[in-house]
Structure 1
Amino acid sequence: MNILAWVVLGLLAGAIAKAIYPGHQGGGLLGTMILGIVGAFIGGTVATLLETGTLAIGAASLSIPGVFVAVLGAILAIFIYNKLSRRAY
């Protein structure tokens, strides 16, 4: 996939994931794009694992199912980030 497709997929998936996930996520436009790109890699890897049973790094494509997988991966990334960044009181 070319760079423009990664930017579009990242912005789209990151914005949808931030809208779905409860609470406030900062980061601005660049943070949203990076979140979506990371979500595409996480979602693509999990989808490959579920389809083939092997762990291989993959990425979602710029298509309707690809955006869906990228959004799920971005939601998972937000969840993991929130769990790791919380302070223990």
Structure 2
Amino acid sequence: MSFIWMIIVGLVAGLLARAIKPGSDPMGWIMTIVLGIVGAMLGGFIASLIGINADGGFTGLLFSVIGAIILLFLYEMIVNKRRV
């Protein structure tokens, strides 16, 4: 996968994850892209653990969004601990 395609898929996965997960997450476009890219890696890892091929297409996007949602919950936990 090319670097540009990875950024585009990361942006889409990050935006979908932020739209699906309730609550406000004050992060910009760069953090949303990073969230999507790292979420895609996490989602790919989770898919390989359960034996599903998530290299592309709808399955890849689905697991990318699942990974990004997991990262959003972790990000929220870390940010809330710092504010307290």
Residues 22-54 of structure 1, C-alpha deviation per residue, up to 9 Å, x if partnerless?
1111221111110100100110001101118xx
Q: Deviation of residue 68 (structure 1)?
A: 0.6
In the alignment, structure 1 residue 5 sits paired with structure 2 residue 5: yes
Cα contact 1:9–1:62 (8 A) shared by 2:
no
Give structure 2 stretches of 5+ with no counterpart.
none
Deviations 1:45-87 (A, max 9, x none): 01101118xxxxxxx5442111111000000001112223322
In proportion to residue count, which structure has more helix? 2
1:32 correspondence with 2:32: yes
Identity %: 37
What residue is the counterpart of 1:73 in the other structure? 67
CA distance in 1, matches of 2:11, 2:71: 15
Q: What's the TM-score, normalizing by structure 2? A: 0.86
The number of aligned residues is: 82
Deviations 1:1-24 (A, max 9, x none): 111110111010000000011111
Q: CA-atom RMSD, angstroms? A: 1.8
Contact 2:25 2:76 in 1 (8 A): no
Q: What's the TM-score once normalised by structure 1's chain length?
A: 0.81
